[in-house]
């Protein structure tokens, strides 16, 4: 990482007792801010995870300060996200136009900013550091070592796993990232995995000690993501709000528009479905792609071109099947899920798949790829359907079967909400606090 400006070593003075939760946690989310709109740029499930987890930890008495890179000169140094949750903007590199791939060159500057923020506090201000994604893990390793506190790390995605499940034309993750992940895995006191599969990947692919890996599934805001209440309840109300035909067959993709998320698979499956079903279905099929371009590539434009090529949009005299919608706010996104007959998650890899869980919490079945954490987020045959592979013909077959069977969709819808109710953020926060306590206890035993 290079040379960091010297900061005096400041070991925590707080005496930790076995099982105690931390008083204050420094969270590091360098490459994306919890204040960013999910579904744009590099903002997605990680952002939701940091926001919701931090809020729940604060409700339980553990204060959280989130360090993130400032991407605007207008960004205030500090923003209160919620009572007990503070977001700190650290200047590191140009404010705009810096791709995630260029961020490793700014880790030294970012780390210096994090250390300076702590140096202005009383000794022992933070009891623990929790990093999100490998870039943050590199910075957090340095901070935790300097402050003499434990490091807990959440990978969210792993390069070796992503490279094993690349989309066609997608660039593999670089060797520098793999090395960085290996270093963070070796350094962390505890590692948080979303699923048992991710835990096995950490052990088998990265050499993590099994006893240091804790499986804590993410959660879903069951109040925000719900079937609705009163006048807002149900599919009909949501369709009125979104200007969707009441009798349409609505398929929704929500997320960043990038090859990994595979929205093109849904478009190709929709074209195959229309080929099988003909004009009658075309008059009532709506495929909504809700999300923005991710990174610096042109996949969003490519997707619009693909829709035109497949005859799903831009055909003179024929109604468009595909609606390209901007990223939805956390208030509007539940409306899209309620409006949908089915939500599609065709990703090539997901460490968990929060979109799938949020859709199910709204009472909508999910059709998802049988990859990574989606096999946990979706209960196959109970809350949705898992599809093996990414062949558009297989996806079309799954969609066709469910489109033709309203009773089956209704059965899955009932199971979807019940399944999602097993994943509240409160349970996630409790699991994370147990991992924090184990990390603190481990340090206490070593220093005793």
* 337 marked ligand binding residue: yes
* 43 marked ligand binding residue: yes
* 274 marked ligand binding residue: no
Decide if 348 contacts 166 (C-beta within 8 A). yes
Residues 435 and 411 placed together within one structural domain of the fold: no
* 440 marked ligand binding residue: no
Decide if 17 contacts 120 (C-beta within 8 A). no
Q: What is the C-alpha to C-alpha distance for residues 203 and 179, in angstroms, rounded to an integer?
A: 15
For the chain, give the percent of residues with pLDDT over 90. 77
Query: Structurally, how many domains does the chain consist of?
Result: 2
pLDDT tens digits for 183-217? 999 999 999 999 999 999 999 999 999 999 999 99
Q: What integer is the mean pLDDT of 365-383? A: 96
* 177 marked ligand binding residue: yes
Q: What is the C-alpha to C-alpha distance for residues 28 and 69, in angstroms, rounded to an integer?
A: 9
Residues 207 and 295 placed together within one structural domain of the fold: no
The answer to whether residue 342 sits within a structural domain is yes
Residues 324 and 378 placed together within one structural domain of the fold: yes
The answer to whether residue 12 sits within a structural domain is no
Asked if the model's pLDDT at residue 439 lies above 90, the reply is yes
Residues 136 and 246 placed together within one structural domain of the fold: no
* 100 marked ligand binding residue: yes
Residues 151 and 163 placed together within one structural domain of the fold: yes
Give how far Cα 303 sits from Cα of 97, 115, 312, 324, 390, Å: 23, 43, 11, 10, 16
The pLDDT of residue 3 is 44
Reported pTM: 0.88
Asked if the model's pLDDT at residue 17 lies above 70, the reply is no
The answer to whether residue 411 sits within a structural domain is yes
The encoded tokens of residue 341 equal 């007959």
Residues 42 and 188 placed together within one structural domain of the fold: yes
The pLDDT of residue 168 is 77
pLDDT tens digits for 315-355? 776 789 999 999 998 899 999 999 999 999 999 999 899 99
Q: What is the C-alpha to C-alpha distance for residues 329 and 302, in angstroms, rounded to an integer?
A: 24
* 205 marked ligand binding residue: no
* 45 marked ligand binding residue: yes
* 373 marked ligand binding residue: no
Residues 292 and 210 placed together within one structural domain of the fold: no
* 330 marked ligand binding residue: no
Residues 209 and 245 placed together within one structural domain of the fold: no
* 46 marked ligand binding residue: yes
Give how far Cα 347 sits from Cα of 84, 185, 241, 350, Å: 35, 25, 28, 7
* 261 marked ligand binding residue: yes
Q: What is the C-alpha to C-alpha distance for residues 386 and 44, in angstroms, rounded to an integer?
A: 22
Which range, of 230-244, 361-375, 411-425, averages the lowest pLDDT?
230-244
State the CATH number of the domain containing residue 168: 3.40.50.2000
For the chain, the distance separating the N- and C-terminal CA atoms, rounded to the nearest angstrom, is 32
C-alpha angle 173/175/181, rounded to 5°?
85
The answer to whether residue 13 sits within a structural domain is no
The answer to whether residue 94 sits within a structural domain is yes
Decide if 334 contacts 226 (C-beta within 8 A). yes
The pLDDT of residue 39 is 62
* 160 marked ligand binding residue: no
* 162 marked ligand binding residue: no
Residues 354 and 368 placed together within one structural domain of the fold: yes
The pLDDT of residue 230 is 52
| Residue 362 structural domain | 235-422
Residues 261 and 138 placed together within one structural domain of the fold: no
The pLDDT of residue 301 is 62
pLDDT-derived band at 9, boundaries 50, 70, 90: very low
Residues 167 and 150 placed together within one structural domain of the fold: yes
Residues 314 and 165 placed together within one structural domain of the fold: no
Rounded-to-10 torsion of CA 156, 110, 187, 147: -120
* 74 marked ligand binding residue: no
3-state secondary structure the chain: CCCCCCCCCCCCCCCCCCCCCCCEEEEECCCCCCCCCCCCCCCCHHHHHHHHHHHHHHHCCCEEEEEEECCCCCCCCEEEEECCEEEEEECCCCCCCCCHHHHHHHHHHHHHHHHHHHHCCCCCCCCEEEEECHHHHHHHHHHHHHHCCCEEEECCCCHHHHHHCCCCCCCCCCHHHHHHHHHHHHHCCEEEECCHHHHHHHHHHHCCCHHHEEECCCCECCCCCCCCCHHHCHHHHHHHHHCCCCCCEEEEEECCECHHHCHHHHHHHHHHHHHHHCHHHHCCEEEEEECCECCCCCHHHHHHHHHHHCCCCCCCCCCCCEEEECCCCCCCHHHHHHHCCEEEECCCCCCCCHHHHHHHHCCCCEEEECCCCHHHHCCECCCEEEECCCCHHHHHHHHHHHHCCHHHHHHHHHHHHHHHCCCEHHHHHHHHHHHHHHHHHHHHHHHC
The answer to whether residue 102 sits within a structural domain is yes
Q: Within 10 Å of residue 34's Cβ, how many Cβ atoms?
A: 26
């Amino acid at each position: 990482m290079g040379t960091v400006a010297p900061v005096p070593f400041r070991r925590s003075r707080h005496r930790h007792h076995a099982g105690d939760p931390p008083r204050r946690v420094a969270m590091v989310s360098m490459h994306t801010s919890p204040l960013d709109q999910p579904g744009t740029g590099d903002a997605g499930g990680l952002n939701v995870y940091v926001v919701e987890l931090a809020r729940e930890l604060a409700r339980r008495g553990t204060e959280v300060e989130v360090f993130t890179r400032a991407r605007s000169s207008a960004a205030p140094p500090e923003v209160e996200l919620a009572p007990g949750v503070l977001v700190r903007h650290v200047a590191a590199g140009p404010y705009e136009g810096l791709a995630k791939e260029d961020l490793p060159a700014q880790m030294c500057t970012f780390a210096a900013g994090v250390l300076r923020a702590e140096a202005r506090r009383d000794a022992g201000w933070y009891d623990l550091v929790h990093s999100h994604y490998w870039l943050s893990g590199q910075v957090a390793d340095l901070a935790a070592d300097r402050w003499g506190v434990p490091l807990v790390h959440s990978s969210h995605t792993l390069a070796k796993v992503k490279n094993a499940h690349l989309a066609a034309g997608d660039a593999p993750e670089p060797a520098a990232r793999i090395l960085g992940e290996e270093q963070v895995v070796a350094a962390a006191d505890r590692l948080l995995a979303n699923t048992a599969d991710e835990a096995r990947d950490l052990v088998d692919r990265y050499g993590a000690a099994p006893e240091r890996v804790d499986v804590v599934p993410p959660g879903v805001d069951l109040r925000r993501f719900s079937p609705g209440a009163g006048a807002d309840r149900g599919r009909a109300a949501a369709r009125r709000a979104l200007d969707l035909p009441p009798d349409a067959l609505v398929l929704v993709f929500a997320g960043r528009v990038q090859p990994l998320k595979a929205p093109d698979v849904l478009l190709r499956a929709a074209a195959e479905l229309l080929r099988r079903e003909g004009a009658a279905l075309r008059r009532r099929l709506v495929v909504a792609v809700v999300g923005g371009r991710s990174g610096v590539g042109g996949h969003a434009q490519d997707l619009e071109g693909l829709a035109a090529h497949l005859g799903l949009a831009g055909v003179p005299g024929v109604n468009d099947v595909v609606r390209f919608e901007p990223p939805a706010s956390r208030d509007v996104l539940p409306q899209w899920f309620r409006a949908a007959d089915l939500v599609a998650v065709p990703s090539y890899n997901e460490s968990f798949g929060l979109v799938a869980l949020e859709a199910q919490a709204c009472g909508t079945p999910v059709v998802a790829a049988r990859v990574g954490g989606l096999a946990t987020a979706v209960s196959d045959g109970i809350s949705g359907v898992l599809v093996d592979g990414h062949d558009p013909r297989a996806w079309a077959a799954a969609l066709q079967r469910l489109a033709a069977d309203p009773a089956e969709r209704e059965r899955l819808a009932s199971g979807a909400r019940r399944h999602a109710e097993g994943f509240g953020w409160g349970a996630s926060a409790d699991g994370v606090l147990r991992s924090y306590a184990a990390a603190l206890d481990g340090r206490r035993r070593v220093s005793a």
